C-alpha cells in the first residue's frame, strides 16, 4: 500500500506504507494510512448515496479515505475470486488421485465456475470506465464532442440513450418522426 500525497509537474511524492498478506495485516495498514491521510484534514461531506455493490465505486467524500475503501473492496473481491480457483485446482488434484470420479469433478467444477464468473463480472463492472469521463460537466463539452472519433461518440450515446429508427415507407426519404430517443436515467 502506498500513498501519493503530492503530484506536481510530473513528479510525485509517494509514501510506502507496507504490503498486506492477510486481513489482519490489511486492517493494520489501513489504520496507519488513515492516520497519515487524516492528519490536518477536514472532511467535506457531499451527501451522496453509496452505489449498488458490484457497480462502479462511488465517490462519497473529498478525503483520500475513499480510495482506501475502494481498494479494500477490490482486494476483497479479488480474494473471493482466488477461492474458487483454488478449489478448482484442489478438485483436479483429487480427481487425479482418484478420490473423486469424473461426474463429481464435473458437478463441482460447474458450481465453482458459476461463482468465479459472478466474481469476475463484479470485478469487470468495477473496472469499467464511463464513456462520459472527461466530458460530463465541462463547459466546453460541445467542443470536446466535435473532436471525438465516431466510436467514442457511439459509446457516449449508448450510455445516455437508446436510439431507435422505426421502419419507413419505401422511397419516402428520411422522416425525423420515425426516430425515437429514450433517455437512460
Question: What tens digit of pLDDT does each residue of 148-177 get?
Answer: 888 888 888 888 888 888 888 777 777 888
Supply the Cα-derived Rg of the chain in whole angstroms: 24
Q: Which three cell numbers stand for residue 14?
A: 509517494
Q: Could you give the C-alpha distances from 159 to 17, 129, 130, 182, 183, in angstroms and in order?
A: 38, 11, 8, 11, 9
Beta pairing class for 2-8 and 161-165: unpaired
Beta pairing class for 179-183 and 161-165: antiparallel
What percentage of the chain has pLDDT greater than the value 90?
A: 2
The tens digit of pLDDT for each residue in 80-133 reads 777 888 888 888 888 899 888 999 889 988 988 888 888 888 777 766 677 887
* Per-residue model confidence (pLDDT) at position 53: 45
Strands (E), 54-174: 161-165
- Return the exposure string of 18-51: e unless at least 16 CB atoms fall within 10 Å of the residue's CB, then b: eebeeeeebeebbeebeeebeeeeeeeeeeeeee
Binned at pLDDT 50, 70 and 90, residue 34 comes out as: confident
pTM for the model stands at 0.34
The answer, yes or no, to whether residue 16 has pLDDT greater than 60, is: yes
Amino acid at each position: 500500500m502506498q500513498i501519493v500525497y503530492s503530484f506536481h509537474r510530473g513528479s510525485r511524492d509517494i509514501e510506502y506504507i507496507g504490503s498486506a498478506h492477510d486481513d489482519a495485516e490489511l486492517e493494520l495498514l489501513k489504520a496507519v494510512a488513515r492516520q497519515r491521510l487524516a492528519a490536518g484534514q477536514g472532511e467535506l461531506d457531499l451527501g451522496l448515496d453509496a452505489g449498488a455493490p458490484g457497480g462502479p465505486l462511488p465517490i462519497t467524500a473529498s478525503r483520500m479515505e475513499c480510495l482506501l475503501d475502494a481498494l479494500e473492496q477490490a482486494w476483497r473481491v479479488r480474494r473471493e475470486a482466488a477461492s474458487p480457483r483454488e478449489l478448482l485446482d484442489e478438485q483436479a488434484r483429487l480427481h487425479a488421485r482418484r478420490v473423486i470420479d469424473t461426474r463429481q469433478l464435473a458437478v463441482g467444477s460447474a458450481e465453482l465456475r458459476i461463482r468465479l464468473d459472478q466474481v469476475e463480472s463484479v470485478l469487470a463492472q468495477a473496472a469499467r470506465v464511463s464513456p462520459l469521463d472527461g466530458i460530463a460537466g465541462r463547459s466546453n463539452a460541445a467542443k470536446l464532442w466535435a473532436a471525438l472519433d465516431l466510436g467514442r461518440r457511439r459509446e457516449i450515446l449508448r450510455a445516455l440513450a437508446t436510439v431507435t429508427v422505426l421502419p419507413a415507407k419505401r422511397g419516402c426519404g428520411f422522416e425525423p418522426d420515425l426516430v425515437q430517443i429514450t433517455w437512460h436515467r
